[in-house]
Chain A
Amino acid sequence: MSEGMTRVIRVTIVLVVAALVPSLFVLMAGHNPWRVLETLLLYALGPQGWSEVLVHAIPLTLIGLGVAFALRGGLFNIGSDGQLIAGAVLAVFFAPYLEGWGIAGLLVFLILGSLGGAALGALVGYLRAWFGASEIIVTIMLNYVMVQMISYLIRGPMQETSRFWPQSYLIPENCFLPVIVQGTRLHAGLFVALIMVIVFAVIQRRTVIGFVSSVLGANPGAAVYAGFRVKMLTVIVMAISGGLAGLAGAVEVGGIYQRLQDNMAEGFGLAGIAIALIARLEAVAIPLAACLFGIFFAGTGALQRELALPFPLVWIIESAVIFAVAAVQWALPNRKAVA
C-alpha cells in the first residue's frame, strides 16, 4: 500500500471516530447530533453569532500567541489566566490618570496591560531559570493567586464608589476600544489581535530574539554552545508570553467590560494552549484556531438556550474536536524544515 493511501485511510478513520464519539454522547443525552451541529453552525454563522465568535476569538488569539511563543522556547505557560488578570488590573489601576489623553491614553492603557502580564511572566521565568522551579506548577499556582487577588481588589481598594457591586470603577471613556460594527459587541480589539499576529510572525522569522528562543526550545544544549544567556532568555521568553496574555486582559477590559469584575475570561488560558497546539505554533494558523474555539465559547449559550443541551455535553463535543484536529495532524506527517 502506498504512503498516500495509508494517509487517506488514516485521516478517514480519524474523522469518522471524531464524528462518532460526540454523536454517541449527544444521543445518550437524548438529542439529535445533526440538530446540535446545525444549531451550533447556524448560530455561529448567523446574524448575531458571527460577531460573538470574533469577540471571543480576539483574546483567544492573543493568548494563543503567548502560549505558542513560550512553547517555541520550550516553556509551558499554563498561566495565561493569571497573566490576563495581572494585565487587566495594572491597566485599570492606572486608567484614571489617562483621562483626557485621547487615543494616546488607549495606547498607554494597552501597554500597561502588556506590562502587567509580562511582569508576572518574567517572575515565572526568573523562578524557573535561577531556582529550577517548574514553570508549569508556578503558573498554575499563580492563576489561583491572581483570581483571589482580583476578587479582593474589586471588593476592596479598587471597588466602585457606591461600594455595592463586586466590581471596580469604570475606566475613562478614551480607554474604551470602540465598537466597529454597530449593533454588535465587536470592538477594535480585533485590529490589536491581527496586528499582534503579524508582529509575532515577524519576531519568529526575522528577529534574533525569535530565533534564539526557538533554539532554546529545540535544543537547549545548542543554546549553551552558541553562548546564549539561557537564564536571561528564559525570563524574556516568559515575559513576552505573559505580556501577550496581559494585553488580552487590557483588550477585554477596554472592549467589553470597561471595568474589573469576577470571572473575566474564564477558561481562556486552557483554550489558548489547545489553540497554540492545533495551530502548530504557527502565527497565521492561530487566529483560525481561535475562531474555532470562538464558535464553542459563543455557541455554548445558543445550544443551551435552543436545545437545552447541558454544559458538560458541549465540553465533550469541544474536546472531541481538539482530538480530531490533533489526530489529523498525526495522520498527515509533516517533515518540513524550520527554515
Chain B
Amino acid sequence: MTPLLEARGLNKCFGQLRANDDVSFSIFPGEIVGVVGENGAGKSTLVKMLGGALVPDSGEILISGSPVILHSPADAQRAGISLVHQHFNLIENLTVEENLVLGRPELRHGIIRFKNLRPGFLTVAEDLGTHIAFDARVSTLSVGGRQQVELIRALFHDPRLLILDEPTAVLPPNERDRLLRFIRLLKERGTAIILISHKLDDLYDCCDRAVVMRGGRVVGTSDLRADERAELIRLIVGAELPPPDTRHGTLGKALVSVKDLVVHRDNGTVAVDRASFELHAGEIVGLCGVEGNGQTELLQAMAGMRPVQTGEIIYAVGAQRMANADAASLRRVGVAHIPEDRLHYAVVAAFSLTLNFLLRKLSKPRFVTWGLLRRQAATKATATAIKHNDVRASGPRARMADLSGGNQQKFVIARELGDDVGVILAGHPTRGLDIRTVVAIRNRLVAERARGVAILLLSADLSEVWDIADRIMVMARGRLRGPVRVGETTLGEIGHWMTTP
C-alpha cells in the first residue's frame, strides 16, 4: 500500500540553524500520527513544509506515490492537505462567516454569495458537533470557539490529510475531549491526521503511533504502548527528566486576602462576582475554570493591572500592608506576576532581552540612578539570569521575538522570581511548553513554596494542579467555588464546578 503522503530526506536551514535535517516521514489514509518533541525540535518546520507554508531546501514530498512541490498553502490545499496553525489566523472584527470566506476562491471574483457557502459550513460544523453562531464576531468567541472556526475552514476543502499544530494546548478539558472525539471520527472516514502535541496523554488517547523529533532529526518512533511511556519520554528529552520536586511548604500567615471582590471586563460586564479567599505563605492554590469565566480578570486585578470595582485585595508581604495597590508598588514589595498572555503583557517582542529584563526592574537602584538607565549593569544581570535559568538565547542583546516560546517563558520566570519575592501570581505558566521545560517550571514553583512563598496558580491543566497545588478553587461565570484541599475533592467534583456556576 502506498502512503498517502511521504516525505524523503527533507532539509531546511534558517541561517546557521538546521531546523530539519534529513527528515523522512510517511502517513497512510485513516492513520493518526503524533509528532512529538521539545520546543525547537523541528516539528513546526516539518509540518509547515508539508502544509506548503515553507519550501524545503532539499528532499522531496510524495502524495500517493507521485512527487509534488508545494509552493504555498493553496498548493497544499489543492493536493488535499489542510493545516491548522497553533496561533489562529482570524480577524477579530469580522464575523465567523466572513473569516471562513477569507482566502477562498469565491472571494476572488468580487462578489460573495454567503447563501451558497453556508450549507457547506453547516455540514462541517454539524460533524464537529458544534453550534457556532456564524454571525458572531470572532472577538466574542472563546479560544475553543476560535479553534472550531479554524477547523471548519480547514475541513471545508474535505482534505485527505489534516495537520493540527498543538490543538489541545489552549483547550479546557471538556473541549479537548470533544476535539479528540472528532479526530477519531475523521479517522473512521479515512482522513489521515498529523497531531503535534506536547501532551503525551493526547498521543495515548488518540494516535496510532508517534514520531519523535529532537534537534531537527527524527530520532525514533513509538507504538504508544502504555508500558513504554518512560522510554518515550527519554526519547523526546534525550536524557532522563529531572525528578519532580515533591517538597511541601509549611503553611504560614495569610499574605493575600481577597474580600468581596468585584472586577469588570473591559466592556463593563461583571467578570469577578464577589470573590473572597486567602492565600497563605507556603502554599500553592490552583485556580481552575473554563476560559472566559473571570479567572483572567481576577489575576489581573490581583496584579494591579485592572481596577477593583468594589471589595478589597489586601497584600501583607513583609512589613508592608497595602490594599488595591498598583502593579509597580506590588512588584516593589515582592509580588511576582507571570502573565498568562506572554506576548501581550510579559515581554516586548521587538526589544532586546536586556530591555525586557529592565521592564520590571525600574525601581531597582542597581539599574536606575537619577532617571538614567545603567545599561551595563542591566546587561550583566540579564546575562546571569539567562545563564542560571537555562534560557537558550545568543546573549542579552538577542531580540525577544527570536526566542522560542519556552525560552521566552523561562526568561519571564527568571526575571520575576528572585529572593525578594513573597507572592507569585502565575497565569498558565506551563501552557504550550515542552515536557522538560514544564518539569523545570513546576519544580521551580514547588521550590519557591518550600521557601515560604504564597503562589496562586491559574492553570487549565487539571493534572498539573493535582500534582503541585495544596488547595484548589474554581471559577464559573464569575463566581468562585472553594478553595478546598486537593485531597478532599475529586476530578469529577471540580469538573462539575467548572460547568455549573
Task: Please determine whether chains A and B interact with each other in the same assembly.
Answer: yes
| Interface of A toward B, CB cutoff 8 Å | 205-209, 211-212, 215, 218-219, 221-222, 224-229, 335, 337-339
Complex alpha-carbon distance, A338 and B351, angstroms? 5
> Mask for B45-86, Cβ within 8 A of A = 1, else 0?
000000000000000000000000000000000000000000
| B348 near A218: Cβ-Cβ < 8 Å | yes
- Please tell me if the beta carbons of A218 and B304 are within 8 angstroms of each other in the complex: no
On whether the beta carbons of A215 and B372 are closer than 8 Å, the reply is: no
Q: How far is the CA of A94 from the CA of B448 in the complex (A)?
A: 62
Please tell me if the beta carbons of A206 and B397 are within 8 angstroms of each other in the complex.
no
Inter-subunit contact A219/B344 (CB<8 Å): yes
Contact between chains at B355 and A206 (CB < 8 Å): no
CA distance A183 to B305 in the complex (A): 60
Given contacts A207-B371, A227-B326, contact A335 B305 (CB under 8 A): no
A208 pairs with B352, CB closer than 8 A: no
B375 at interface (Cβ–Cβ under 8 A)?
A: yes
Distance of A215 Cα from B350 Cα, bound (Å): 10
Q: Is B372 in contact with A206, judged by CB distance below 8 angstroms?
A: yes
User: Is the CB–CB distance between A224 and B327 below 8 Å?
Assistant: yes
Having A215-B351, A228-B328, one finds 7 other A-B pairs with CB under 8 Å, namely A205-B375, A208-B371, A227-B327, A335-B399, A337-B352, A338-B399, A339-B354
For the complex, is B337 an interface residue (Cβ under 8 Å from A)?
A: yes
> Which residues on the A side are within 8 Å of B327 (C-beta)?
224-227
Does more than half of chain A's interface fall in helix, strand or loop, or is it mixed? helix
Which one, A207, A218, A219, A338, contacts B372 given CB within 8 A? Answer: A207
Point out the residue from A208, A211, A224 that lies within 8 Å of B305, measured CB to CB. Answer: A224
B364 to chain A, nearest CB (A): 12
Complex Cα distance, B330 from A209, in Å, reads 21
23 A-B pairs within 8 Å (CB atoms) are namely A208-B368, A211-B373, A212-B362, A218-B348, A219-B344, A219-B345, A222-B348, A224-B305, A224-B345, A225-B303, A225-B305, A225-B337, A225-B345, A225-B360, A226-B327, A226-B360, A227-B327, A227-B329, A227-B331, A337-B397, A338-B351, A338-B355, A339-B355
Instruction: Report Cα–Cα, A215/B373, bound state, in Å.
Output: 14
A212 to B358, CA, bound (A): 10
Docked-complex contact B362 and A208, CB < 8 angstroms: yes
A316 to chain B, nearest CB (A): 32
Specify which chain B residues have a CB less than 8 angstroms from the CB of A218 in the assembled complex: 348-351
B305 contacts A207, CB within 8 Å?
A: no
A339 CB contacts on chain B under 8 angstroms: 352, 354-355, 397
A219 to B331, CA, bound (A): 19
Chain A residues within 8 Å of B349, by CB = 218-219
Beyond A226-B360, A339-B354, whether A221 also contacts B344 by CB under 8 A is yes
Contact with A along B242-272 (1 / 0, CB 8 A): 0000000000000000000000000000000
- How far does the Cβ of A291 sit from chain B's closest Cβ, in whole Å? 28
| Complexed CA–CA distance, A228 and B305 (Å) | 10
Contact of A227 (CB < 8 Å), options: B328, B339, B344, B372: B328
| B346: contacting residue among A209, A225, A335, A338, CB under 8 A | A225
Taking CB atoms, residues of chain A closer than 8 Å to B346 are: 222, 225
CB atoms of A211 and B328 under 8 A apart: no
| Interface positions of B from 350 to 385, Cβ below 8 Å from A | 350-352, 354-355, 358-360, 362, 368, 371-373, 375
**CB neighbours of A228 from chain B (8 A):** 328
Tell me whether B328 and A225 are in contact (CB under 8 A): no
The reply to whether B329 and A337 form a contact with Cβ atoms under 8 Å apart is no
Query: In the complex, what distance in Å separates the CA atom of A208 from the CA atom of B328?
Result: 14
A218 and B401 CA atoms in complex are apart in Å by: 12
Q: Which A residue's beta carbon lies closest to that of B325?
A: A227
| Residues from chain B with Cβ under 8 Å of A206 in the complex | 372-373, 375
How does the 8 Å CB contact mask read for B311-338 relative to A, with 1 for contact and 0 for none? Answer: 0000000000000001111110000010
Identify A215's interface contact among B348, B354, B399, CB under 8 A. B348
Nearest Cβ in chain A — how far from B401, in angstroms?
8
Q: Which of B21-39 contact A (CB under 8 A)?
A: none
List residues of chain A with CB within 8 A of the CB of B362. 208, 211-212, 226
In chain B, residues 377-408, which have Cβ atoms closer than 8 Å to a Cβ of chain A?
397-400, 402
Beta-carbon contact of B359 and A337 below 8 Å:
no
Among residues of A, the one whose C-beta sits closest to the C-beta of B346 is A225
Q: Chain A residues near B303: list those with CB within 8 A.
A: 225
Tell me the complex Cα distance, A208–B359, Å.
10
The reply to whether the CB of B194 lies closer than 8 angstroms to some CB of chain A is no
User: Within the complex, what minimum Cβ distance (angstroms) separates B354 from chain A?
Assistant: 7
Query: Does any Cβ of A come within 8 Å of B347's Cβ?
Result: yes
Please report the C-alpha to C-alpha distance between residue A336 and residue B270 in the assembled complex, in whole angstroms: 43
**Interface centre among A207, A209, A218, A219, by most B CB within 10 Å?**
A219
Q: How far is the CA of A251 from the CA of B84 in the complex (A)?
A: 58
CA distance A227 to B337 in the complex (A): 11
Which B residue sits closest to A222, measured CB to CB?
B348
Complex: A224 Cα to B345 Cα, angstroms: 8
Closest residue of chain B to A202 (Cβ to Cβ) is B372
Nearest CB on B from A250, distance (A): 25
- A207 — which chain B residues lie within 8 A by C-beta? 371-373
Q: Which residues of B contact A215 (CB under 8 A)?
A: 348, 351, 359
Q: Which of A207, A208, A228 has the most CB of B within 10 A?
A: A208
List chain B residues, Cβ under 8 A from A212: 362
Residues of chain A within 8 A (CB-CB) of B339 are 225
The listed residue with most A CB atoms (<10 A of its CB), out of B341, B359, B399, is B359
CB-CB under 8 A from A221, the residues of chain B are 341, 344-345
Q: From residue 385 to 443 of chain B, which have CB atoms closer than 8 A to chain A?
A: 397-400, 402
CA distance A54 to B431 in the complex (A): 56
Nearest residue (CB) in B for A209 is B371
Interchain CA distance A225-B347 in the complex, whole Å: 9
Distance of A149 Cα from B382 Cα, bound (Å) = 52
In Å, the complex CA distance between A229 and B330 comes to 14
> How would residues 91 to 124 of chain B score, 1 for a CB under 8 Å from any chain A CB and 0 otherwise?
0000000000000000000000000000000000
Closest to A208 in B: B371
Who on chain A is nearest to B347 by CB? A222
User: Inside 8 A of B341's CB, which chain A residues have their CB?
Assistant: 221
| CB-CB nearest in chain B for A212 | B362
Closest-by-CB residue of A relative to B375 is A206
Q: Which residues of A contact B358 (CB under 8 A)?
A: 211
Q: Which of A211, A215, A226, A227 has the most CB of B within 10 A?
A: A227
6 smallest beta-carbon distances between A and B, as pairs: A227-B328, A227-B327, A337-B399, A225-B345, A221-B344, A221-B345
CB of B72, distance to nearest CB on chain A (Å): 17
Indicate if the CB atoms of A208 and B372 lie closer than 8 Å.
yes
